[in-house]
Structure 1
Amino acid sequence: MERSVFFISDGTGITAESFGQSLLAQFSGPTFCHHTLPYIDTREKAVKALMQITEAHQAEKVQPIIFMTVLNEEVSQLMHTSGAYIIDLFSTFLPGLEIELESHPLYTVGKKRSTTSSDSYHRRIEAVQFALDNDDGARFRHYEKADIILLGASRSGKTPTCIYLGLQFGIFAANYPITEDDLDKGTKLPDVLKPHKERLFGLTINPVRLAGIRNERRPNSRYSSARQCQYEVHAVEQIYRQEQISYIDTTEFSVEEIATRIMDQANLVRRLK
């Protein structure tokens, strides 16, 4: 049975959602139904949110959970009448920080002190564009500009990881899919990658999981068959071992975790100030 979880904010809701999902990920038993309600910054919006929370409570017969980042006092008070289990991030952490910093909070909705320079902003945009331009081996001539080149079988997580590396760390990441055509030439590194070997990093994945992902894209095809996925994954891993290319198994990790582990294992340095 599902249990509703609400991420409520008078801003974007990104902080409440990220914090809440990180905590919920530690619990393997319950099944959660997520509801993100951003910009709940008036009494009218708060009342509508309360109605949605009440409906979930009545339908599920179990107390909903709310992760909340709300500075609007009236909205906050209304949320606390919901009957839900509430984790209020601001009321939990701001009082202690106020004492420690000997300074009163601004209590300004949507306030986020900028710690990034315009150079970092442009680097982030350029890095994401680089990832898109150099996706799935589309171009090779820009590989010398890459901080890292991700390898792996099709649908093993290369593209979202490259984009996240660019967005979060300012890393110029390209990716190259090792396809069946490459493997037909034997389990060896494709010629186009040999000049860039020091930039290569591999991704692998459980073949069963890969088959499930591919089946969503091409149901009941040879491409998504368990046999084909097992063949490709094992062959790709053999290339990694032969060429001494570092790699990680992405099966159990989120994109954020994959990117962070790559940063660590590949000794990459964040390019954003």
Structure 2
Amino acid sequence: MNKLIERTVYIISDSTGITAETFSNSILSQFDSIRFNQIRIPFISCIEKAKQVVEEINNNAIQYQQTPIVFSTLVDPIIKNMIKNANGIFIDLFGTFVEYIEEKIGIKSSNSIGRSHTMNDTEKYRNRIDAINFSLSHDDGQFIDQLNKADVILIGVSRCGKTPTSLYLAMQYAIKAANFPLTPDDFERKSLPSTIIPFKPKLFGLTIQAERLSEIRNERRPNSQYSNFKQCQYEVLESEKIMNKEKIPILSTTNKSIEEISTTILQQIGLSKNLIN
């Protein structure tokens, strides 16, 4: 087995750096023979901070005898040029696209720092917070009031990915996502929990391969009946039978990222029209 090549990646931003990190992760995922050591440095908004970043990049290049990769969403031209002239492979995520659009439409951009994460639109921010609070209070079937206000109700066996998906939908898209476990009691009755039957049009099923489910549960409760492979296999099969009988859309989370799971849910149940713009 070949040893992975290692390379340092700097993610530099005058705001949080979240946009740059997300974009860079997508790009770097195409290089599976390299282990990237990512360093995110946010809020580089003055020359003094920029000098410190330049020094760190240059020292890294000397220490590891490799030119680090530098992803940037910097807007200020002076600060951006300082970072660009450091000993790094500089990739200007904003400038590459902003300059192209400026050229094509004949209008200059405003060059506003932190525009991608502004809180000027307080309604959008409040919607996210409301959705997060809703998802937290309706996690794992612990609070059944106001389920009528849910945009989607995720169902499936324990540890199949319901909670992280609910929170991701809330945080990224202001989707009010509740989640409800299917348990051995439901499997014996071979029916959905009575609490969620009135909201059947909002249900979306998550499933998972039994082998993977057993691995995940073993991390939580090693060598227990809960994590036993046969128990996991039974629960997965019975939950899928119920969901298929009720004609509830199902998605396997086994080999999918939370981003893929969430996007598929939004598309399949037609929630894309509600996304925050």
Per-residue deviation, residues 9-40 of structure 1 (Å, max 9, x unmatched): 12211221121112223333322222111012
Partner SS for 1:201 = strand
Counterpart residue identity of residue 169, structure 1: Y
| Separation of aligned partners in 2, 1:78 and 1:7 | 15
**Are 2:250 and 1:250 aligned?**
no
Q: Which runs of 5+ in 2 are unaligned?
A: none
Counterpart residue identity of residue 150, structure 1: L
Determine if contact 1:154/1:178 at 8 Å carries over to the other structure: yes
Distance change (3 Å), C-alpha of 1:23 and 1:256? same
2:244 matched to which residue of 1?
241
| Percent pairwise identity | 41
* Deviation of 1:58 (Å): 4.7
Of 66-75 and 32-41, deviating more is 66-75
Determine if contact 1:131/1:172 at 8 Å carries over to the other structure: yes
2:202 matched to which residue of 1?
199
Counterpart pick for 2:159 among 155, 159, 164: 155
| Separation of aligned partners in 2, 1:215 and 1:148 | 29
Determine if contact 2:119/2:125 at 8 Å carries over to the other structure: no
Distance change (3 Å), C-alpha of 1:166 and 1:58? same
* Deviation of 1:250 (Å): 1.6
| Separation of aligned partners in 2, 1:259 and 1:218 | 27
| Separation of aligned partners in 2, 1:207 and 1:63 | 44
Per-residue deviation, residues 30-65 of structure 1 (Å, max 9, x unmatched): 222221110122333233333443454455544322
| Separation of aligned partners in 2, 1:49 and 1:182 | 57
Distance change (3 Å), C-alpha of 1:119 and 1:68? closer
Of 206-215 and 231-240, deviating more is 206-215
**Are 2:239 and 1:231 aligned?**
no
Distance change (3 Å), C-alpha of 1:76 and 1:117? closer
**Are 2:265 and 1:262 aligned?**
yes
| Separation of aligned partners in 2, 1:196 and 1:254 | 27
The 5-angstrom pairing of residues 54-69 of structure 1 reads: 54-58=58-62, 60-69=64-73
Determine if contact 2:210/2:229 at 8 Å carries over to the other structure: yes
Determine if contact 1:134/1:142 at 8 Å carries over to the other structure: no
Determine if contact 1:202/1:248 at 8 Å carries over to the other structure: yes
Determine if contact 1:201/1:246 at 8 Å carries over to the other structure: yes
| Separation of aligned partners in 1, 2:140 and 2:230 | 23
The 5-angstrom pairing of residues 111-260 of structure 1 reads: 111-112=115-116, 118-183=122-187, 185-260=188-263
| Separation of aligned partners in 2, 1:168 and 1:116 | 17
* Deviation of 1:83 (Å): 2.6
Partner SS for 2:196 = helix
TM-score under structure 1 length normalisation: 0.86
Distance change (3 Å), C-alpha of 1:85 and 1:213? farther
Q: Which runs of 5+ in 1 are unaligned?
A: none
Per-residue deviation, residues 181-229 of structure 1 (Å, max 9, x unmatched): 433x254322322222222110112333333333333344333343333
Distance change (3 Å), C-alpha of 1:79 and 1:21? same
1:48 matched to which residue of 2?
52
Determine if contact 1:120/1:271 at 8 Å carries over to the other structure: no
Counterpart pick for 2:103 among 81, 99, 106: 99
1:84 matched to which residue of 2?
88
TM-score under structure 2 length normalisation: 0.85
The count of residues paired between Structure 1 and Structure 2 equals 272
The 5-angstrom pairing of residues 1-20 of structure 1 reads: 1=4, 2-20=6-24
